[in-house]
């Protein structure tokens, strides 16, 4: 396959960037080198995604570890120093193998000049599960280049191996172009992000005054553009509080022919509790939650007007016309700054195809609330659990009830005009020729908050991929122009951040 030929056509972002940054010789050199090295970068990504680093599959844990070693080797080749594969111990239950080791965090440094600022870059090398049987157009653990669409398809291409390698490529381009990296870089690459980042919080806290002591800012490249056309910087994330309501009745699953009508069925009670949580228009029915939400200011309202997004984008993303709102600002506000409640499913009930006449003995309903400023997590827990308890009590059922928080992560919001965001905005303008949209996201990246709290620094979310990359879905892809443009943006960001006056 003539990769070189294919890639030549994908350099639109690159060419534009070179022109935009024409006044800056460093940028020209680095960007030209990124263009030149792109086939090598694609090759490195191809090698990376071939390793089946699925953190959620215990049997594939050796592959996750193998990928950590692969990265370590690449970092070494590119001149990174103090490379450490930090072990996090055994994985806590629930696990099948009680001695299962967590994959290591890959720490490394590039440069340690005390006169330079230090940027910690975070990425994750583990991936979501994938199998061609799920409906992929090609083997998910083999990078396939779609010449027509100018994209690279593979599990991990966009989430998050492509962006993670971006930082290595920035360093390689500087070295080979003979341009000095304007900052000290520290990498923090984890292998458990898709499985709750187990162990990373603790490591960050431990190294706040150790490996990460000199860090001035943190840049995470593990999210996406809002749409497919315009680059964004992300300054807010909703949190997530995940609950379960467990209702238990008979000692074992029963036959509905024999017991139907005489036994208080746990499913009946659970459905009634779940029904009380949210209405079909997405309104949360638990009292006191909406009251905690920060009011929308006039200033904020205007922010939504300029963002490139439409109802059509939403419908395309959901593959349906089931959006609850028609206007751009309503959609974005309900996605970013209002809470939502989703009922995910029921554990213990019949879930197969066909018909089974079972009365499940113990059912656990799962739902989560996406949290936003100024919802207080502990107050939320109290409201949710007391609400469920009160609905259950009103049923007068002989079954037993329990409601509990399974896990939570707080919301995050940053100042989108601080030095790091400003540098990233300039970099975006330089590479893509447009001001990035300032976005928030509906999902949570809990590690964002950990970095902010433990290192007492700002955190920037600088996405490389597009909104339609299919990160957790089939046919995950990364557009070649995003791979190239994203890497250039990372490079330019480091320069602008180094030059900025304020930290």
* Interface with a second copy, residue 399, by CB under 8 A: yes
Residue number with CB closer to a second copy (268 or 418): 268
Beta strands 118-124 and 105-110: pairing type? Answer: unpaired
Q: How far is the CB of 236 from a second copy (least distance, A)?
A: 12
Question: For the stretch 39-71, what's the b/e string if a residue is b when 16 or more beta carbons lie within 10 angstroms of its beta carbon?
Answer: eebbebbbebbbbbbbbeeeebbebbbebbebb
Residues 6+ apart with CB under 8 A from 229: 308
Residue number with CB closer to a second copy (138 or 351): 351
Catalytic, out of 35, 63, 126, 207:
126
Beta strands 254-255 and 458-461: pairing type? Answer: unpaired
Please tell me whether 334 is known to bind a ligand. no
Residue 326: Cβ within 10 Å count: 9
x-or-dash string of contact with a second copy, 97-126, rule CB under 8 A: ------------------------------
Residue number with CB closer to a second copy (85 or 317): 317
Residues 6+ apart with CB under 8 A from 406: 242, 243, 244, 366
- Measuring CA to CA, which residue among 233, 163, 235, 181 is closest to residue 432? 233
Give the count of residues interacting with a second copy (CB under 8 A): 85
- DSSP string spanning 236-255? EE-EEEEEEEEEE-SSS-EE
Distances in whole angstroms, Cα of residue 18 to Cα of each of 3, 6, 22, 115, 428: 22, 20, 6, 28, 13
Please tell me whether 124 is known to bind a ligand. yes
Please tell me whether 194 is known to bind a ligand. yes
Helix, strand or coil, per DSSP, at residue 95: coil
Q: How far is the CB of 6 from a second copy (least distance, A)?
A: 29
- Measuring CA to CA, which residue among 182, 236, 230 is closest to residue 431? 230
Q: Which of residues 368-387 bind a second copy (CB under 8 A)?
A: 368, 370
Q: Which of 406, 417, 433, 499 is close enough to bind a second copy by CB under 8 A?
A: 406
Q: Which of residues 269-308 bind a second copy (CB under 8 A)?
A: 269, 271-272, 274-275, 278-282
Q: What are φ and ψ of residue 281, in 5° steps?
A: -95, 10
Q: Which of residues 310-349 bind a second copy (CB under 8 A)?
A: 314, 317-325, 331, 334-335, 338-347, 349
Q: Which of residues 176-215 bind a second copy (CB under 8 A)?
A: none
Catalytic, out of 63, 193, 469, 476:
193
Please tell me whether 222 is known to bind a ligand. yes
Residue number with CB closer to a second copy (5 or 262): 262
Residue 434: Cβ within 10 Å count: 12
CA distance 488 to 431: 7
* Interface with a second copy, residue 96, by CB under 8 A: no
- Measuring CA to CA, which residue among 8, 78, 72, 81 is closest to residue 42? 8
Residue number with CB closer to a second copy (79 or 345): 345
* Interface with a second copy, residue 17, by CB under 8 A: no
Q: Which of residues 244-273 bind a second copy (CB under 8 A)?
A: 244, 249-252, 254-265, 267-269, 271-272
- DSSP string spanning 416-468? TTSHHHHHHHHHHHHHHSSPPEEEEESS--HHHHHHHHHH--EEEE---B-TT
Q: Which of residues 429-468 bind a second copy (CB under 8 A)?
A: 441-444
Please tell me whether 255 is known to bind a ligand. yes
Please tell me whether 35 is known to bind a ligand. no
Residue number with CB closer to a second copy (240 or 492): 240
Q: How far is the CB of 319 from a second copy (least distance, A)?
A: 2
Does residue 376 have an active-site annotation? no
Q: Which of 156, 163, 360, 486 is close enough to bind a second copy by CB under 8 A?
A: 360
Does residue 126 have an active-site annotation? yes
Active site residues: 126, 193
Which residues are documented as binding site for Mn(2+)?
A: 124, 159, 194, 222, 472
């Amino acid at each position: 396959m003539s990769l070189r030929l294919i890639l030549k056509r994908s350099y639109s972002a690159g060419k534009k960037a070179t022109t935009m940054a024409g006044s800056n010789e460093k940028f020209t050199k680095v960007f030209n080198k990124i263009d030149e090295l792109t086939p090598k970068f694609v090759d490195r990504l191809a090698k990376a995604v071939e390793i089946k680093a699925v953190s959620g599959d215990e049997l594939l844990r050796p592959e996750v570890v193998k990928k950590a070693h692969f990265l370590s080797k690449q970092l070494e080749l590119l001149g990174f120093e103090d490379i450490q594969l930090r072990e996090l111990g055994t994985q806590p239950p629930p696990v099948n193998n009680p001695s299962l080791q967590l994959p290591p965090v890959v720490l490394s440094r590039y440069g340690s000049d005390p006169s330079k600022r230090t940027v910690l870059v975070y990425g994750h090398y583990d991936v979501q599960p994938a199998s061609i049987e799920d409906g992929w157009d090609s083997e998910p653990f083999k990078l396939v280049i779609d010449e027509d669409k100018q994209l690279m398809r593979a599990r991990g291409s966009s989430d998050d191996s492509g962006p993670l390698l971006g930082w290595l490529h920035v360093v390689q381009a500087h070295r080979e172009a003979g341009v000095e990296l304007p900052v000290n870089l520290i990498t923090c690459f984890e292998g458990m992000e898709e499985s709750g980042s187990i162990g990373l919080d603790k490591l960050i806290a431990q190294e706040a005054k150790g490996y990460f002591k000199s860090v001035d800012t943190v840049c995470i490249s593990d999210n996406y553009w809002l749409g497919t056309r315009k680059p964004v910087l992300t300054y807010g994330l909703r949190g997530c509080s995940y609950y379960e309501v467990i209702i238990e009745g008979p000692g074992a699953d029963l036959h509905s022919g024999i017991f139907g009508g005489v036994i208080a069925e746990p499913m009946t009670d659970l459905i009634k509790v779940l029904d009380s949580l949210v209405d079909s228009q997405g309104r949360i029915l638990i009292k006191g939650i909406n009251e905690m939400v920060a009011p929308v200011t006039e200033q904020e309202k205007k922010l939504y007007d300029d963002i490139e997004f439409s109802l059509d984008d939403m419908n395309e993303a959901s593959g349906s016309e089931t959006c609850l709102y028609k206007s751009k600002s309503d959609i974005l506000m309900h996605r970013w700054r209002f809470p939502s409640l989703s009922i995910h499913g029921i554990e213990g009930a019949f879930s197969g195809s066909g018909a089974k006449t079972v009365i499940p003995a113990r059912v656990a309903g799962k739902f989560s609330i996406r949290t936003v400023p100024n919802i207080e997590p502990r107050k939320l827990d109290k409201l949710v659990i007391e609400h469920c308890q009160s609905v259950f009590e009103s049923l007068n059922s002989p079954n037993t009830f329990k409601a509990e928080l399974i896990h939570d992560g707080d919301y995050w919001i940053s100042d989108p005009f601080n030095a790091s965001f400003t540098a990233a905005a300039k970099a975006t303008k330089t590479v893509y020729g447009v001001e990035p949209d300032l976005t928030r996201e509906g999902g949570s990246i809990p590690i964002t908050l950990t970095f902010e709290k433990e290192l007492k620094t700002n955190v920037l979310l600088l996405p490389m991929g597009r909104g339609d990359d299919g990160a957790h879905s089939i046919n995950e892809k990364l557009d070649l122009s995003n791979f190239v443009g994203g890497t250039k943006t990372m490079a330019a960001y480091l320069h602008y951040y180094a030059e900025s006056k304020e930290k």
